[in-house]
């Protein structure tokens, strides 16, 4: 009888240990913060401020927020290699502006930068064009050789 009681107690303890260890890990999330102003002339500054948090400073898609995203960020260093060795500047510009359908763009995880650039540029389309062009040029420097 005592042995049976000890076994029952051990089973309850074991069940508790298993269920307490199987608790879900907290989900990673991204904290949305206001967009800070950057120089329209510096593609690198814009990339570091707006893109690196997801794509990483090296462009490989390994930024600190990457793990919290439903869709992994693209490896921006492979854009040329994935386009027969030619940097797809028009495609990159369309993705940045929000003109092209990109799975992660426009969602709550990946903003459409064209709209945000218009906001911080006070609606001046020439400054938006400059921002997009300089960001395209900087991303080109990240391409794998």
Predicted structure pTM score = 0.72
Structural domain that includes position 105: 37-141
Domain count of the fold of the chain: 1
Is there a contact between 77 and 46 (Cβ–Cβ < 8 Å)?
A: no
Residue 4 inside a domain? The answer is no
The CATH number given to whatever domain includes residue 81 is 1.10.760
Write down the pLDDT at residue 126: 92
Residue 89 inside a domain? The answer is yes
Q: How confident is the model at residue 144 (pLDDT cuts 50, 70, 90)?
A: very high
Task: Please give the Cα distance from 33 to 24 (Å, whole number).
Answer: 27
Write down the pLDDT at residue 38: 85
Q: Residue 110: beta bridge partners? A: 105
Q: Mean pLDDT, to the nearest integer, of 53-57? A: 94
Write down the pLDDT at residue 140: 98
Q: How confident is the model at residue 87 (pLDDT cuts 50, 70, 90)?
A: very high
């Amino acid at each position: 009888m005592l042995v049976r009681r000890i076994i029952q107690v051990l089973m309850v303890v074991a069940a508790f240990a298993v269920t307490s260890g199987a608790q879900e890990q907290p989900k990673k999330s991204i904290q949305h913060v206001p967009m800070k102003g950057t120089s329209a002339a510096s593609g690198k500054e814009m990339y570091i401020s707006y893109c690196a948090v997801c794509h990483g400073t090296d462009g490989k898609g390994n930024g600190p927020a990457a793990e919290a995203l439903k869709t992994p960020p693209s490896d921006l260093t492979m854009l040329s290699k994935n386009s027969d060795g030619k940097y797809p500047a028009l495609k990159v510009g369309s993705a940045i502006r929000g003109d092209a359908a990109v799975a992660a763009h426009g969602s709550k995880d990946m903003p459409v930068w064209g709209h945000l650039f218009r906001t911080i540029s006070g609606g001046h389309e020439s400054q938006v064009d400059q921002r997009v062009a300089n960001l395209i040029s900087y991303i080109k420097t990240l391409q794998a050789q």
